[in-house]
Amino acid sequence: DGGITQSPKYLFRKEGQNVTLSCEQNLNHDAMYWYRQDPGQGLRLIYYSQIVNDFQKGDIAEGYSVSREKKESFPLTVTSAQKNPTAFYLCASSVQETNQPQHFGDGTRLSIL
């Protein structure tokens, strides 16, 4: 079945540690996105990528980094510079055509130890 796979489901970060969240899709979508969801807030865009080897900052990119070396994969690194990393992280993908919706992976919950 085609879909988006995020791993791990739960992740704990120690002070000063970088952690990487995985996102893989087999939908052949060109565009991929990372969002953060906090209680009582809408999803906020961290980074997005329209094509391999290219990505753009979203609204809250500080303290995060990404790479897009393969079409299927868009990992997100939460660096030690991100002082409030506890959140639900969602990866999404979409086709290039206008008016097409995004499809989400099942998310990673990140907490600080």
- Using CB under 8 A, list all residues that contact other proteins: 31, 35, 40-43, 45, 48, 50, 88, 90, 96, 98-107, 109
Minimum distance between the CB of residue 1 and other proteins, rounded to whole angstroms? Answer: 15
Between the alpha carbon of residue 61 and those of residues 3, 27, 93, the distances in Å are 25, 25, 18
Nearer to other proteins, 50 or 79 (CB): 50
The Cβ of residue 68 has, within 10 Å, a number of other Cβ atoms equal to: 19
Minimum distance between the CB of residue 101 and other proteins, rounded to whole angstroms? Answer: 5
Between the alpha carbon of residue 26 and those of residues 37, 71, 108, 112, the distances in Å are 24, 9, 18, 31
Nearer to other proteins, 65 or 103 (CB): 103
Nearer to other proteins, 18 or 57 (CB): 57
